[in-house]
Chains A and B, each alone.
Chain A
Amino acid sequence: ILNVEQSPQSLHVQEGDSTNFTCSFPSSNFYALHWYRWETAKSPEALFVMTLNGDEKKKGRISATLNTKEGYSYLYIKGSQPEDSATYLCALDLHNNAGNMLTFGGGTRLMVKP
């Protein structure tokens, strides 16, 4: 059984704070890592796809890094805003014969207080 772990489970921050979350996975099972943002009552939204050790991706105030050798990825949000409140999910793509099925972590629920 492949375990993708995310920490913390939940996080409360004030508007303007910067924050980061961790996604960890077995380093021996890796093809690609996906980050999604899931706001309540909406569809999960793809943020990043990362495949190479050392990858860094950025989208506005959100960025992510990847370390495949030690099996972790960090997601950073700079200057959090209330609209950043959502659950952030990471998912591992093992690229087995089953297409590109994703194995998700449990998510980090972020709440940004104005």
Chain B
Amino acid sequence: DTGVSQDPRHKITKRGQNVTFRCDPISEHNRLYWYRQTLGQGPEFLTYFQNEAQLEKSRLLSDRFSAERPKGSFSTLEIQRTEQGDSAMYLCASSTRAGTSGGATDTQYFGPGTRLTVL
């Protein structure tokens, strides 16, 4: 396993269309994160899974966004009725719990991202 992969790398769509992105994490990683990066900004947290459970969602994640991780392996992020403001780089990261609580931080390994352009 060479790292986190994301598909597609680029997506151009028209406003109002639905799009779905896929993330394949590093195989033994139980944690999976989605981030979004817009031009000139750093990545912003969208949502987090531990195994198949979605444990946290940012308020950035409107009702048009949904994420799943059905078997605790790959994850999908769907955007319904896309808007021009959804144009961004969507990054996925995975990690594994490093040590006992209160004693460690995870290193998150990122994929190359999916660049979405909404026309």
- What's the tally of chain B residues with a CB closer than 8 Å to chain A? 26
Whether the Cβ atoms of B56 and A97 lie closer than 8 Å is yes
- A interface, size bucket: 20 to 34
Q: Using an 8 Å CB-CB cutoff, how does the interface string of A88-109 with B read, 1 for contact, 0 for none?
A: 0101010101111111111100
Residue of B56, B105, B112 with most partner-chain A CB within 10 A: B105
The interface residues of chain A, by DSSP majority, are classed as: loop
Whether the Cβ atoms of A98 and B109 lie closer than 8 Å is no
Whether the Cβ atoms of B111 and A104 lie closer than 8 Å is no
Whether the Cβ atoms of A46 and B56 lie closer than 8 Å is no
Whether the Cβ atoms of A104 and B43 lie closer than 8 Å is yes
Cα–Cα distance between A43 and B43 once the two chains are bound (Å):
12
Closest CB-CB distance, B104 to chain A, in whole Å? 8
Closest to A32 in B: B105
Where the two chains meet, the residues of A that have a C-beta atom closer than 8 Å to any C-beta of B are 4, 6, 31-32, 34, 36, 41-46, 49, 51, 89, 91, 93, 95, 97-107
Where the two chains meet, the residues of B that have a C-beta atom closer than 8 Å to any C-beta of A are 3-4, 31, 33, 35, 40-45, 48, 50, 55-56, 91, 95, 105-113
